Amino acid sequence: MFDRFQLYVERQASSPFRYVWEQSVLTLFGWVPTVLGIGLRAAAYRLILRMEGVAAVESGVRIRFAQYITLGSGSYVDQNAYLHACPNGIRIGDRSFVMHGAVLHVFNFRSLPHAGIRIGSDSLVSEYCVIRGQGGVDIGDRVYLAPSVQILAVNHVFGDPERPMIEQGITAEGVTIQDDVWIGAGAVVVDGVTLGAGSVVGAGAVVTKDVESRTVVGGSPARVIRRIEDSCDKQPEKVYL
C-alpha cells in the first residue's frame, strides 16, 4: 500500500514536500470563483509556479508539477483545464489562452529527454483540446487550435506479435507547429509531424506527414488541398474549420 501511495505522489509532484505545498495552495485558492479568485490566484500561484507578469487562472484548474509550469504575461487558463508538467515543463506564452477542459500533459514517466510543451504568444488552445508532450510539442506564435484538436507527440511500438504491446515501448519524436497555423475542430496531429508557418488543417483531418508552409490540408490521412498563394481563379475545395 505504501509503495502505491509513494508512486502516486511521485506522479503528482517532484517530492513529497512539493506535493503537500502545491496541493495546499491549490486547495486554499483554487476554488474561489469570479474575478476575486482570479486576483487571489494571480498572487498566490506565484508561490508554486512561474508567472511572468500577470496571468489569469480560473477556478477548478487542475495543476500538477506546478514548479515546472510557466505562464506568460496576459495568459489565461480557463476552468477545468488540466496542466500536468511531469517534469520537463509547460510554458504558455504571453497573451495565449487555454480554454475550458483542455488537457496539456507532458506525461514523462520514462525520462524522455525532449518531453515538454511550449506554446508561443497570442495563441489559442480551444475547449477540450488534448496535447500530449512526451516527445516535445513546440507551438509557435498566433497558432489557433479549434475545439477537440489532439496533438500527440508519442506512439506505441507494436510490431512484435509475441510480446504484449505494453512491453514494446514507445517512440516520441515530437511535434512542431510553426507560427500562424490554424487547425480545425477535431483534427489529429500525430508524432513526428511539423506544420509549416501559415498552414491550415481542415476539421477532422488526421495529419501523419509534414505540412509545408502556407498549405491547406484535409482528410484522413491528410492530403494537400491547395497552396494558399495559388490563384483564386478556380473555386477551391471547401475546407471546414
What's the gap between Cα 35 and its chain centre?
25
Distance CA 177, CA 96 (A): 15
* Rg, C-alpha atoms of the chain: 19
Cis preceding-peptide flag for 161 (omega within 30 of 0): no
Phi, psi of 46, rounded to the nearest 5 degrees = -65, -20
Residue 230: how many other CB atoms lie within 10 Å: 13
- Per the annotation, the verdict on 156 as an active-site residue is yes
Distance CA 108, CA 115 (A): 6
Phi, psi of 18, rounded to the nearest 5 degrees = -65, -35
Distance CA 150, CA 131 (A): 6
Nearest to 132 by CA among 79, 212, 188: 188
All cell numbers assigned to 9: 505522489
Query: Are the beta carbons of 132 and 116 closer than 8 angstroms?
Result: no
Distance CA 105, CA 3 (A): 24
Q: What are the catalytic residues? A: 156
